[in-house]
Amino acid sequence: MKNNGKQYYVDAAARSAEWHAENLRKMRACRFDTISVHGVYSMQEALDFNQGSIIEPMYMSTSQTYRDSDEMEAALGYEIPTWCYSRIANPSMYYLEGVLALLEGYGSGIETSCVATSSGMAAIQSAVEAFLVVDPANPDQKMNFVATCQLYGGTFQQFAIRKDQERNIEWRKVVNSNDIDTWRSLIDENTRFLYGEMPSNPGQAFFDLEKVAALAHEHNIPMIVDATVATPALMRPIEWGADIVVQSVTKSLMTSGFGIAGAIISRKNLTSNIDNDAMKADFAMYLKILPNRDNGPSISPMNAVLGINDIRTLRSRMDLCSRNTMKVAQFLEGHPNIEQVDYLGLESHPLHELAKKYLVLVDSEYDELYGKKVNRYGHLMSFRVKGGAQAARDMFDRMQRIWRATDLGRIKSVATIPAISTHSQQGEEGREIADIPLNLIRLCVGAEHPDDVIDDLDQALRAEGKKSFHVPGPEYSAGGASSATLDRS
């Protein structure tokens, strides 16, 4: 029997590329909610490839088989669409990447692509690492990057320890991220990228992205934004000039709390002073098929499908949780035992006016409830308890309904004390520049009725020293990290 020949497969791929492109065009013309629900998974895809399954199937298979050696050769040469091996690609991952690329590019007319990763930290690591490569023309150059200090604790450690300390790649710190002159003064010819988190976790730092992105482009370097707290339902940095968005999909995108996942979404033809045309042309795709193939930070199909499922209701969920958070923030702001409330939605917040420009509930002007653009500020906030560290801990320990955990973005209200948890490793000095005092409590309000959340906070702020739960004896679950946890009881 004669083989089909490689060209047979290449031609077939060109034909299916047409209907894929047509499907994408149709999806781009839809509203945000429709894209969230359907993503790139069409009826045609369901009928042709997935036995009609109306929900994106979870492809747990490690790898894909080929009809013959010609098809295999075309696939592994990336001449036809293939998923070949799940470290590189997989249909379930592809459905997640497809919907996130569409949502981050929504309404901008800018073409975007996405690569999903095993966690938000893996997304940040693979996005920034691509720019921290040795320049063959200048191998002794001491590279630097310019980034805000008010960062998620894991990002702070990745920058301070893994890059700056361990690899001598200088992190130039922007303490006040809303001061464009600070950004400008820190950039030189050895700068590889600008990086900012907005709104920041937990401090709600915020900056004028449009200006900072323009500054990056003046210097021929990319602007990278961690927009985990906002999600594309409230802010899409690419439309404001960012080149790359990193997301901890784990958080508000995957609100159910069932998985860990991350994503990098990039614009096509981004700006960079690195001589690598493939990287600049389609950054996310480049990461996916080259560095991430070799370094292996990819997402599992299980987590991808869990992500897809939660994203379907993103907009209405972010609306609801933002409204609940606003109500809770207003309650706390008026409470005599509270020193300060940090929430961008409050008029008292110094960055409120700036935040209004960027944080808008997508498609609210087409929502019959609103009929105009409305601002929504997400469900992360923080507050400082009067009386210092111990008073904050006592109040925290009295919460009955709000879960004590180092987590956020959940459908359930969750709180933590960043100084002793998410931001403990960066030490006192690191917390000082990041503005994380010991009496700061981070609260992420869920979808409960806000009055019940307020009641819980109210009793916790009032009650006389009573903890809600007795501390158990040695009967911890075997799921713990180490026996050392037991010694502290």
Ligand X SMILES: *Cc1c(COP(=O)(O)O)cnc(C)c1O
Residues 246-265 that bind ligand X (CB under 6 A): 248, 250-251, 260, 262
**C-alpha 71, offset from chain centre:** 36
CB of 413 to ligand X, least distance (A): 16
Assigned token pair, 465: 């020293």
Out of 23, 112, 178, 228, name the contact with ligand X by CB under 6 A: 228
Residues 90-149 that bind ligand X (CB under 6 A): 119-121
CB of 184 to ligand X, least distance (A): 25
CB of 19 to ligand X, least distance (A): 34
Q: In what helix (H) or strand (E) does residue 26 lie, and over which residues does it extend? A: helix 6-28
Preceding peptide of 232 cis, ω within 30°: no
CA angle 407, 388, 410 (to 5 degrees): 15
CB of 235 to ligand X, least distance (A): 13
Nearest residue to 96 (alpha-carbon basis) of 84, 109, 108, 83: 83
Nearer to ligand X, 127 or 392 (CB): 127
CB of 123 to ligand X, least distance (A): 8
| Contact by Cβ (8 Å): 243, 131 | no
154 binds ligand X (CB under 6 A): yes
Question: CA 371, 373, 374, 377 torsion: positive or negative?
Answer: positive
- Contact window for ligand X (CB under 6 A) among 65-73, 222-230, 353-361, 427-435: 222-230
CB of 22 to ligand X, least distance (A): 34
CB of 169 to ligand X, least distance (A): 19
- Strands ordered across the beta sheet of 380-385: 338-342, 380-385, 440-444, 414-416, 403-404
Q: Binding string, 189-208, against ligand X, x = CB under 6 A?
A: --------x---x-------
Out of 144, 148, 155, 292, name the contact with ligand X by CB under 6 A: 155
Backbone angles phi, psi at 172, to 5 degrees: -90, 115
Q: How far is CA 323 from CA 53, 200, 232, 317, 326, in A?
A: 36, 19, 17, 10, 5
152 binds ligand X (CB under 6 A): yes
Nearer to ligand X, 240 or 331 (CB): 240
CB of 251 to ligand X, least distance (A): 5
- Contact window for ligand X (CB under 6 A) among 101-109, 224-232, 288-296, 456-464: 224-232
**C-alpha 202, offset from chain centre:** 14
Q: In what helix (H) or strand (E) does residue 173 lie, and over which residues does it extend? A: strand 170-174
Nearer to ligand X, 152 or 159 (CB): 152
- Contact window for ligand X (CB under 6 A) among 127-135, 209-217, 221-229, 288-296: 221-229
CB of 277 to ligand X, least distance (A): 29
- Strands ordered across the beta sheet of 262-267: 112-117, 262-267, 244-248, 223-226, 191-197, 144-148, 170-174
| Count of residues touching ligand X (by CB under 6 A) | 16
The distance between the two most distant Cα atoms of the chain, rounded to a whole number of Å, is 85
- Contact window for ligand X (CB under 6 A) among 47-55, 151-159, 231-239, 299-307: 151-159
Nearer to ligand X, 119 or 292 (CB): 119
- Contact window for ligand X (CB under 6 A) among 97-105, 233-241, 245-253, 473-481: 245-253
CB of 119 to ligand X, least distance (A): 3
CA distance 164 to 157: 10
Nearer to ligand X, 173 or 442 (CB): 442
- Report the residue closest to ligand X, judged by CB: 120
298 binds ligand X (CB under 6 A): no
Nearer to ligand X, 154 or 430 (CB): 154
Within 10 A of 218 (CB to CB), how many other CB atoms are there? Answer: 11
CA distance 391 to 384: 10
Q: Kindly give, in sequence order, each residue whose CB lies less than 8 Å from that of residue 432, ignoring residues fewer than 6 positions away.
A: none
CA distance 83 to 75: 8
> Which positions touch ligand X (CB under 6 A)?
119-121, 152, 154-155, 197, 201, 226, 228-229, 248, 250-251, 260, 262
